[in-house]
């Protein structure tokens, strides 16, 4: 019986649950048990999904204190001998995973986007070179198998019907905290672009009239997103960025205005259903992936399509 531990991050609950799908793919037909570990608040929502839920209610361990969290994971590994430990590739997960892997003297694969089986080995696939190349990586026979998993790529469909056993764990070794949270400031109140069904996205070609994208977005009840170029030039905030170094989106419609479609950008679009692109160059890379290519100036297009939608709306009222 294989044992797998998933680090449950409270602030990224769904992404943590989706790691159950990764475990399922890793063990395939083999029998396995799933353990979830969470720090701080209890995670009752995960009940029924895991075989075991380990809670670490110790007030001395803050949910950002990576050093003490590593201490706990090391202790847990000593008790349970997990065959694999998985982390969501969040800000915190991506700091906790490498520290824990180093502590346990095992290899680690970052930002996994697919699991394959190759000659009896589990092959973890991840993007490299900003998503321009995919690399398959195997672990050299050390236990546990460790990886961080790219957010929003896997999705767990299993029902919550397990008899979850809850375990309260009291850590043995806790160090003095070397880091203190002073304040948290929310980023400007925009919805997460990953939650939008339609995205109106502006690339380097939109430049100074990037704010106009909002007009079209409002008509379509959509959100505005951006390419890396737009973000790097300071026109759009990083939270809007689509692509390998930004966010992976799974919208139904993606309108790419003045976006050429670098590979790192396309990596963020792999779950997008429909693409309409507007570009002065009809042979731009994104055009090969588009349903419709509008050859021409994006600023003009925004005005025309916005007017058209408004006009159609009025004439139907």
Q: 273 and 253 in contact (C-beta within 8 Å)?
A: yes
Q: Which stretch binds other proteins (CB under 8 A): 17-25, 26-34, 46-54, 125-133?
A: 125-133
Residue 138 beta carbon to other proteins: minimum distance, rounded to whole angstroms: 5
CA distance 44 to 277: 44
What is the dihedral sign for C-alpha 13, 14, 19, 20? positive
Q: Is 174 in the site for other proteins (CB under 8 A)?
A: no
Name residues contacting other proteins, limited to 193-232 (CB under 8 A).
198, 220, 232
- Residue with Cβ nearer other proteins (31 or 183): 183
Burial class of residue 2 in the structure, from the number of CB atoms within 10 Å of its CB (0-12 exposed, 13-18 middle, 19+ buried): middle
Name residues contacting other proteins, limited to 21-60 (CB under 8 A).
none
- Phi and psi at residue 3, in whole multiples of 5°? -120, 130
Q: Is 133 in the site for other proteins (CB under 8 A)?
A: yes
Name residues contacting other proteins, limited to 236-275 (CB under 8 A).
238-239, 244-245, 252-253, 262-264, 266-267, 274-275
Q: 279 and 181 in contact (C-beta within 8 Å)?
A: no
- Residue with Cβ nearer other proteins (58 or 123): 123
Binding-residue total with other proteins (CB under 8 A)? 90
Q: Which stretch binds other proteins (CB under 8 A): 29-37, 162-170, 199-207, 306-314?
A: 306-314
Q: 52 and 36 in contact (C-beta within 8 Å)?
A: yes
User: Which positions ≥6 away from 143 have C-beta within 8 Å?
Assistant: 81, 83, 106
Q: Which of 29, 161, 187, 315 binds other proteins (CB under 8 A)?
A: 187
């Amino acid at each position: 019986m294989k044992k797998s531990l998933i680090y449950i991050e409270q602030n990224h609950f769904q992404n943590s649950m989706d790691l159950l799908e990764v475990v399922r793919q890793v063990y395939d037909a083999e029998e396995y048990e799933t353990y979830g570990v969470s720090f701080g608040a209890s995670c009752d929502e995960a009940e029924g999904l895991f075989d075991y839920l380990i809670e670490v209610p110790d007030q001395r361990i803050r949910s950002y204190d990576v050093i003490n969290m590593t201490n706990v994971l090391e202790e847990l590994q000593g008790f349970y001998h997990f065959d694999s430990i998985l982390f969501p590739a969040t800000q915190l997960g991506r700091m906790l995973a490498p520290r824990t892997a180093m502590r346990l003297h095992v290899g680690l694969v970052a930002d996994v986007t697919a699991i394959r089986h190759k000659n009896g080995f589990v092959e973890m696939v991840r993007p490299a070179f900003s998503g321009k190349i995919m690399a398959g990586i195997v672990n050299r026979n050390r236990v546990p198998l460790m990886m961080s998993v790219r957010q929003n790529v896997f999705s767990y469909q299993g029902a919550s019907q397990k008899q979850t056993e809850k375990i309260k764990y009291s850590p043995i070794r806790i160090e003095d905290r070397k880091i203190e949270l002073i304040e948290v400031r929310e980023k400007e109140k925009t919805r997460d672009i990953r939650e939008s069904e339609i995205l109106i996205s502006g690339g380097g070609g939109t430049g100074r009239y990037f704010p106009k994208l909002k007009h079209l977005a409002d008509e379509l009840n959509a959100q505005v997103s951006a390419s890396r170029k737009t973000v790097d030039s300071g026109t759009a905030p990083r939270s809007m960025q689509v692509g390998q170094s930004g966010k992976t989106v799974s919208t139904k419609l993606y309108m790419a205005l003045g976006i050429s479609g670098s590979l790192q950008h396309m990596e963020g679009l792999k779950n997008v259903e429909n693409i309409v692109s507007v570009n002065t160059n009809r042979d731009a890379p994104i055009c090969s992936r588009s349903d419709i290519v509008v050859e021409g100036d994006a600023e003009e297009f925004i005005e025309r399509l916005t007017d058209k939608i408004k006009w159609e709306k009025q004439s139907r009222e």
